[in-house]
Amino acid sequence: MIKVGIIGATGYAGCELVRILSAHPEAEIAAISSVSFEGKKLSDVYPSYIYLNDMVCENSDEVVKKSDVVFAALPHGLSQELAAKCKAEGVKFIDLGADFRLENEDEYEEWYGGNFLDKALHEEAVYGLPEFFRDKIKGKSVIANPGCYTTCSPLALAPAVVNGLIEMKGIICNCASGVTGAGRKPNQGNHYPELNEGFHAYKVASHRHTPEIEQTLSKLSGEKVTVTFVPHLLPVNRGILATCYADLKDGVTYEQIRAAYEDYYKDEYFVRVLPDGMCADIHNIKYSNFCDISVHYDGRANKLIACAAIDNMVKGAAGQAVQNMNIIFDLDEKTGLEFIPPAF
């Protein structure tokens, strides 16, 4: 059994890791930690775990000592030193935060206000979006687990980008997320009276996920890509819907687009290209590691409209992290992740 440690286990993503890994047939949770709740049982923080997981939150050093792989579900800026400790102890490290996602240090400094503490470790880190980079993930020690918007938007656009069907200029990623994406710590923006019966954009043209989306699309296309990314906050707990717009190249038909998407994802269990006439809906992917994609053609404007829906806490966080763990340890990617989304 793979011994798993979870650092930041009482946050939303950490709590999801516990839920998923508790049923994983090849892994066992060896230790958990939480700065806010050190010394307390997980079931004291989340009563849904009572009698199922009453583990006590330890300090992070103890978690590293007891683990074969450590998941870190922490705010940005807290993972670099932790990754170095894991590396020194021969422990695999999967970071659900942002510290290793950007490859360019100048971009990291611009968007996150920090620096690379260990440049060699950053060079070793692999960006963990399995549908694109699984061959690079296998056997690696440091994985940068992508965030929710940065998973959903590239998945929506990848087949069109890779097959050269769209122009690389003028791409728009218009996304809406459930409030769990803001984390567990309450603030005015996710206070129920402020959030309920509302719908608004936030961090317009300034969200930190912008360069990450651009980095992935640039790798897939082989050229520098700039996108307009606008996130919105939905008055729901879970889910992300990305609606992405791009100009089609001259002569591209809907039949070509459809064929490209079906072929690109034909062997990807967790990506479901929906039949014609259906639209991706967050209702249909809740609590699962699936990404549903619907492809639409606006002939009047000669545009591709690609919609993708994921659960931001699963495929957009904890589920994808477990998918990466499976790849690292040479397990079937689906292991412990074959949840059927609830119908209602």
Q: How many CA atoms lie within 13 A of 17 on its CB side?
A: 37
CA dist., res. 296 & res. 93, Å (int): 39
Catalytic residue among 57, 86, 148, 173: 148
Asked about 148 being catalytic, the answer comes back as yes
Q: Is 258 exposed, middle or buried (CB count within 10 Å of its CB: 0-12, 13-18, 19+)? A: middle
Q: Cβ–Cβ contacts within 10 Å for residue 21, how many?
A: 22
Angle at 268 between CA 262 and CA 272, to 5 degrees: 60
The pair of structure tokens assigned to 142 is 């440091």
| Among the listed residues 166, 94, 52, the one whose alpha carbon sits nearest the alpha carbon of residue 318 | 94
CA dist., res. 163 & res. 212, Å (int): 21
CA dist., res. 67 & res. 32, Å (int): 10
3-class SS of residue 341:
coil
Sign of the dihedral defined by the CA atoms of residues 86, 88, 92, 95, in that order = positive
| Among the listed residues 67, 280, 58, 49, the one whose alpha carbon sits nearest the alpha carbon of residue 156 | 280
Gyration radius (Cα) of the chain, Å: 20
Sign of the dihedral defined by the CA atoms of residues 281, 287, 291, 292, in that order = negative
| Among the listed residues 51, 10, 49, the one whose alpha carbon sits nearest the alpha carbon of residue 33 | 10
Question: Looking at the annotation, which residues are catalytic?
Answer: 148
